[in-house]
Amino acid sequence: MINPYIFRGYDIRGKVGKDLNFKVVKRIAQGYAYFLNTRRIKQAVVGHDCRLSSEEFKNAMIEGLTESGIDVVDLGMCLTQMVYFAQYHYKTNGGVMITASHNPADYNGMKMALGYSYTLGTREILDLKKIVQENKRVKKAKKGSVTTGKDLKEAYFRDILKRVNIDKKFKIVFDPSCGTAAGFIKELFQEKLGFEIICQNCKVDGSFPKGTPDPTEEHILERLGEKVIETKADLGIAYDGDGDRLGVVDEKGGIIWADVLVAIFADDILDYLPGGKIVYNVLCSKLVDDVINKKGIALMYKTGHSFIKEKVSNERALFGGELSGHFFFMDNFFGHDDAFFATLRLLEYLQRKDRSLSKIIEKFPKYISSPEIKVGCPDNLKVKLVDDKITKELKQKFPYAKHTTIDGIRIDFKTSMLVIRYSHNGPYLTVKFEAKDQKQYEKLKKQVKEILEKHKEINWQEGSNVESLN
């Protein structure tokens, strides 16, 4: 019996050994092959991150696909964005990345493609779940072939580098927390671009000895900031486990939360294309809306990389971004999330403005913002808790505020905001709040904690950045 909760809002994730093993992954692969076959798709690219179970699961995926008649290009260990790029490079609609992104080392999962740069959304994930549960398979298929994507890395580097023009020789500290990105940083940023790089925690290790690679974690960015100050670098960059998200600190070691990066990228793009649409998720700061509306059209949408990517495409927006560090460029890129390309775009912007990162953000509206706080809540309880209980409480408590319920609930006041939503990819709630001054911030923090403490469904022992509520 496959745990139904591994089928999440936009990917598949579960605990290794408990939810996922070779047999389960192969069964999912057979279901995905059936899903592709109904669309007359006969090829797929498959890659994996550095997690200790990922190569085994990649082999299970390839076995299940090829036995079902799908021809596979085996990409080996790579970044998630390299799977997306490989779809274009090898001209195939199908694609799978074995990864659990920023989940702990004992988790794994997969992101699956349906068309170029397009990952399965909630509707397609539910279709796949039904196919797997009903044990539907491709019958009497001629076994598919397996080839190796040997030329992918060099082709990927060439593609992203041709889209930017960077002459300045930056000095940068990188910290991928021993994740997959560690295997690619030196070649791109030092050997090809000639930057002076300081790479800490750059030995690839799928056990994640430095902790889960999550660039939204405050302690990781603080660690990065200390190294930037020590080495007098221009900035610091952190990546997540599969390299499609990033976090940034400025030359003073100051944390630049990813919603501020959304504002920076929007500012850059709207310099060239004023009046364009920019998409951002409900967890982003009010400053994002402030910055975009000066030169463009701001569109708030629900959290999740596949949701934002789809919204950007449907709206024909120029760009989309999330607080989690996913960024989607459509002005001169494919529209999928690529943290290496986002890094290059940030550096090109800094070169063009000829100012430090801390100086750049001085012009932006100022808010005191919490990090993205995750508090534990079981998968079978989180939806009802947010939709039926917390949303109702917040509407009653703040009837005079603006309520947005496209993704959990967001409450906007004139100079502050708060968000409480359930995660699509883990057993927790996500919380974010901010205010213009410290007194207002502390009051809001207290109110948020009081609301959460009422509910026995909350597991305070699980999550991240929970200390930010104390």
Dump pLDDT digits (tens) for 320-368: 999 989 999 999 999 999 999 999 999 999 999 999 999 999 989 999 9
pLDDT band per the 50, 70, 90 thresholds, residue 426: confident
Query: For the segment 269-289, what is each residue's pLDDT rounded down to a tens digit?
Result: 999 999 999 999 999 999 999
- pLDDT digit string, tens, across residues 372-381: 899 999 999 9
pLDDT of residue 141: 85
Q: Does the structure show a pLDDT above 80 at 425?
A: no
> What's the pLDDT band for 465 if we cut at 50, 70, 90?
confident
Assign 369 to helix, strand or coil.
Answer: strand
Distance CA 9, CA 13 (A): 10
Q: Identify the CA nearest to 46 among candidates 138, 146, 120.
A: 146
Mean pLDDT value across residues 303-311 = 86
CA atoms of 434 and 442, how far apart (whole Å)? 9
Please state, rounded to an integer, the average pLDDT across all residues of the chain: 95
Query: Where exactly does CATH 3.40.120.10 map onto the chain?
Result: 4-151, 257-335
What CATH class does 4-151 carry?
A: alpha beta
pLDDT at 258 over 90: yes
Pairwise CA distance, residues 386 & 384, whole Å: 6
> In this model, does residue 243 exceed pLDDT 90?
yes
Average pLDDT over residues 131-160: 95
CA 174 from centroid of its chain's CA atoms = 18
Q: What is the pLDDT of residue 396?
A: 94
Closest C-alpha to 423, from 107, 94, 51, 78: 107
Length of the chain counted residue by residue: 470
Q: Which CATH class is domain 257-335?
A: alpha beta
d(CA 257, CA 218): 9
Residue 216 has pLDDT above 90, yes or no: no
| Whole-number pLDDT of residue 447 | 94
The Cα 116–Cα 145 span in angstroms is 21
The residue-averaged pLDDT of 1-6 equals 91
- Is 442 a residue whose pLDDT tops 80? yes
Answer whether 39's CB lies under 8 Å from 156's CB.
no
pLDDT above 90 (res 125):
yes
Q: How many CB atoms lie within 10 A of CB 251?
A: 18
Distance CA 367, CA 37 (A): 50
Residue 239: in which H helix or E strand, if any?
Answer: strand 235-239
- The C-alpha torsion from 362 through 365 and 369 to 374, rounded to 10°, is -100
CA distance 73 to 409: 42
Strand partners, 89: none
3-state SS string over 378-440? CHHHHHHHHHHHHHHHHHHHCCCCEEECCCCEEEECCCEEEEEEECCCCCEEEEEEEECCHHH
Query: Does the pLDDT of residue 470 top 90, yes or no?
Result: no
Find all residues with CB under 8 Å of 221, minimum gap 6, and list them.
215, 236, 238, 247, 249, 255
User: Binning pLDDT at 50, 70 and 90, where does residue 117 land?
Assistant: confident
* pLDDT at residue 307, as a whole number: 86
For residue 157, pLDDT over 80 is answered with yes
Q: In what order do the strands lie in the sheet with 43-48?
A: 12-15, 107-114, 94-98, 43-48, 71-77, 146-148
CA distances from 343 to 1, 164, 248, 281, 374 (A): 42, 11, 9, 20, 26
The reply to whether CATH 3.40.50.11720 applies to domain 368-469 is no
The residues assigned a catalytic role are 101
Q: Where in the chain is the domain with CATH 3.30.310.50?
A: 368-469
